[in-house]
Structure 1
Amino acid sequence: MKSLHCEEILHGGFAFNGLTDMLTMRTDFWSDSVKEFGQNLTNDELIFLDKLSWFESPTPHSTARYTPMYGCYRLEDNKFPEAIYFYDSGTVYNLDMTLETYIANMIESAAVNCWQYFYISPEELIKKNKGVNGSLWMLSSLEDFPEDSDRLGNILHHMDHCIQYLPDSFPWKDFSYHNKQLELIKSMI
């Protein structure tokens, strides 16, 4: 009797926005997902979002509303933006890295969806997601999460899923950093 083998799927990929578009064209790339996943954002938060411009997403801009995850810069007048943020389903996180580091970390993480969570400060990740309705995250519709889980629980479940399956998919890569970061976050809850 043959046993059935079920393969796990890790979604990912990346597309870069053009430099001219990123620096000169204000977009509301975030508006659809804020309506669907946002949590009663304040006027200041909406003003902040309006100044974000995306440079990387799992899908090209024309379809990015279906994967509302973006590496972003905050546009500033007469100055090249430096601070990098991760926008995901109505929530923005600070990423303490340069563009070069962002790209290197993305490659080290095999560009799996939401790889950025391994690089967000644990304090910020916990503060912005603990107790938030778990369905207020786009990946909640793609993975098998516990029904009563909050958004933080769903993110940690996704991170666990990545740790479990990335090494088999990319055996030449070292995911020990990712595992340590996940364990650190869990120890702080």
Structure 2
Amino acid sequence: LAPSAGGRRRRSAGARSGPRKAVGPERGRRKWWWWRRRRRRRRRRRRRRRRRRRRRRRRRRRRRRRRRRRRRRRRRRRRRRRRRRRRRRRRRRRRRRRRRRRRRRRRRRRRRRRRRRRRRRRRGSRRRRTARAAGQRSLQRGPRGATRGTAVMGTVGRTRRKRRSRKKRGSRRKEPW
């Protein structure tokens, strides 16, 4: 058989030697693996770059508490007439704590674009569509109701009519045999 017809080409005595011999399987099976490896295309793998999310570290401010030193008073014993001292009352100022108001982040609402639906024109008559929905295969077409050959000709959904030869137009019979 010829190689075009699926046959194998015979290697002659003066056949090429070397790598040019092993182009395909028909040149002998000695170097098939080489041919197959040559044909394989390498796929380049695209490396997906992962985006690293940077976490913001909140720095906590350490409040230094000032320690009050209590001064110890040394009592001196004196023989003296004790004078009554008026104690001055120190008014403590009350510090009002300011409440921090948390700012609420407003989420932006994405507006959806409404797509306008195009109305498709229905092809075919309403009668044919209803017949097709009811599973009715044939529809009696014609101006006078049922015409001859409706079982063959008037199938629902068929838009093109079969072209008939004009030879037997006059004598159209239901059973052609």
TM-score by length of structure 1 reads: 0.15
The one of the two structures with greater contact order (alpha-carbon pairs below 8 A, sep at least 6) is 1
More helix by share: 1
- Choose 1 or 2 for highest CA Rg: 2
Scaled by the length of structure 2, the TM-score of the pair is 0.16
